[in-house]
Amino acid sequence: MEQLTLTTPALLFSAISLIMLAYTNRFLAYAAVVRDLHDKYQKKKNKVFIKQIENIKKRLYLTRSMQIFGITSLLLCVLTMFLIYIQQHTIAIWVFGLALLLLILSLALLIVEIQISVKALEHHISDIENNGADNL
């Protein structure tokens, strides 16, 4: 079996950093949508806004979990590097494996979140198509 070196977990730093940036952008976009929906709901108490808020809330919690798993993966990569540095190679291999599993879980949640987002957008598209057909 090939030895785990410091460069192996270090390779994930840039990938995880970019993923975290994307997750943060999603989170900020959801925050803006929630604020907008809140303002609209305050002006007009509409059930449609409640459903949209419920959908965003679900996606927001998924994004939070994605971020937590991604950050934990990054922390475990750093711990792996420390364990390699103090020559605890067996433990380092297990910790790095756990870091990879958490990263996989984070990315799997991203897939779920994207599916929910697409369904929400499909509802909007359907409304536009139905209302557009009525106006023709």
pLDDT in tens, 106-122: 999 999 999 998 887 88
Mean per-residue pLDDT for 96-107?
96
| The pLDDT of residue 132 | 64
Q: Given pLDDT bands bounded at 50, 70 and 90, which one contains residue 87? A: very high
Which positions ≥6 away from 125 have C-beta within 8 Å? none
- Between CA 48 and CA 105 the distance in angstroms is 32
Closest to 121 (Cα-Cα) out of 52, 65, 47:
52
Inter-residue contact 56 to 117 (CB < 8 Å)? no
Which positions ≥6 away from 120 have C-beta within 8 Å? 52, 55, 59
> Which residue's entry shows tokens 């410091």?
6
Could you tell me the pTM of the whole model? 0.80
The conformation of residue 97, written as its DSSP 8-state character, comes to H
| The pLDDT of residue 55 | 85
Q: State pLDDT tens for residues 45-71.
A: 877 778 888 888 899 999 999 999 999
| The pLDDT of residue 107 | 95
